[in-house]
Amino acid sequence: MKSGTCRPTNPTGRVLIPPETTPTSTAHRVTPQTTLDFIHRNPIIRGITSACTSNLPTPKSTRSGPWSRRRFVSSTLVGLGCLPWYKTARAASLDQCPVALFSKVYQELQLDFDASAEVTAEAGLDGIDCPVRPGGQVLPERAAEDLPRYADALARRKVRLLLLTTGILNPKTPHAESILRTARQLGVTHYRLGYWSYKQYASREKLQSEVRAQLKDLAALNRELGMCGVYQNHSGRENFGALVSDIREAITDLDPREIGLAFDPSHAFIELGSDWNSELERCRRHVQLAYVKDVNTSHRFVKFGDGILGGSGWFTWLKKAGYNRPISMHTEYHWAPPGFHKTRDRLVKALRADRTLLRTWIQSA
């Protein structure tokens, strides 16, 4: 453990999930100018200024010179403590964790940003986990332009851009730094990495060595930006991380606040059967994000309640571990009723039903 840091423990003395990194680089020191820039780069903060200060008079001057409305609003927000509220999506307890829909499902209906935001709000969700990757809702080369637009559309409906899903594997991945810097400016702190495949390497050892080297470089970038990259255990024996133990070995020496694991119990069940719980416990210190989708014993993804997720012990584990970050909700099944076309209204109904059952499972943990 690094000096000067402390991991929280629960009453049993078990180590809880580590806190997020507080950026320490000079790029993240708070100054009047960086505060001002932060406010006016962020659509949610601009919305707060509009709501909170629309009727306030514009001060004309101070000892240090003229006060513009922009300068007055910035100082007012800092004084009110609004910025720390916006900086993080951490919750006080599991049942207060925001639910972020993996918005890949919106691509099935080709929804634009405004329509996506409307569905998110109407379904009672807290925000989205946005795919920013080739073929995603936001293309990597357009992240700097489109992510702020998407965040603004969400903010107008009182929901948020909470997480990203990317194809990033190392700092040299095309557009990686642009994506991450833009996301960080919008308040996002966690993003999913892309995947490695065993098919591309001559041996397991060769891939392990390559993964370690790339993640070490990526951890350094995350440290600079105050971000955390997470790797999902995705089923498929050709996928690195499918067995969980291989990705655990690759990240064991890295700070989990910079590189961690997005644990998906349904994919773990497909690959490991009932042994997935034991592997989860071995990964305890690395788990940074919780993914939820339901799967049945035939290894088919199903609507929430038709599979093993609710009785799997996943939510009890999260509660005992002190999990307090967004939960990424995935809709991987055919959500329209048999014989019916997929429509916006049917999607809202399906998402609302999954979200309601998810909250029930969380509250019962």
Burial class (CB in 10 A: 0-12, 13-18, 19+), 297: exposed
97 and 44 in a common domain: no
Report yes or no on 146 lying in a domain.
yes
- Is 53 found in the same domain as 120? no
Are residues 79 and 139 located together in one domain of the fold? no
What are the C-alpha distances in Å from 252 to residues 172, 208, 242, 245, 261? 23, 12, 16, 10, 11
Q: What's the predicted TM-score (pTM) here?
A: 0.78
Instruction: State which of 57, 86, 115 marks the end of a domain.
Output: 86
**Same domain membership, residue 169 and residue 104:** yes
> How far is the CA of 214 from the CAs of 168, 170, 251, 337, in angstroms?
10, 5, 11, 44
What single-letter amino acid sits at 280?
A: L
Q: How many domains does the chain have?
A: 2
- Average pLDDT along the chain: 84
140 shares its domain with 219: yes
Reported confidence tier of residue 89, pLDDT bands at 50, 70, 90: low
Residues 221 and 179 in one domain: yes
**65-66 and 99-102: which strand pairing?**
unpaired
Q: Please check whether residue 276 lies inside any domain of the structure.
A: yes
Q: Is residue 116 located within the same domain as residue 205? A: yes
Its domain, for residue 45, covers 27-86
Banded model confidence at residue 230, pLDDT cuts 50, 70, 90: very high
pLDDT, one tens digit per residue, over 235-269 is 999 999 999 999 999 999 999 999 999 999 999 99
Specify the pLDDT at position 228. Answer: 98
Q: Which of 86, 104, 122 is the last residue before a domain boundary?
A: 86
350 SS3 class: helix
End position of a domain, from candidates 86, 104, 135:
86
Over 50: is that where the pLDDT of 196 sits? yes
Tens-digit pLDDT profile for residues 266-282: 999 999 999 999 999 99
Selection from 58-62, 89-93, 240-244 with the highest mean pLDDT: 240-244
Q: Is residue 177 part of a domain?
A: yes
Give the mean pLDDT of 187-216.
96
Q: What is the domain-level CATH number for residue 188?
A: 3.20.20.150
Instruction: Let me know whether 185 and 71 are in one domain.
Output: no
Let me know whether 60 and 188 are in one domain. no
The rounded distance, in Å, linking the Cα atoms of 154 and 121 is 8
Mean pLDDT of 54-70: 40
- According to DSSP, the β-strands at 294-295 and 301-302 are antiparallel
**Are both 80 and 123 inside the same structural domain?**
no
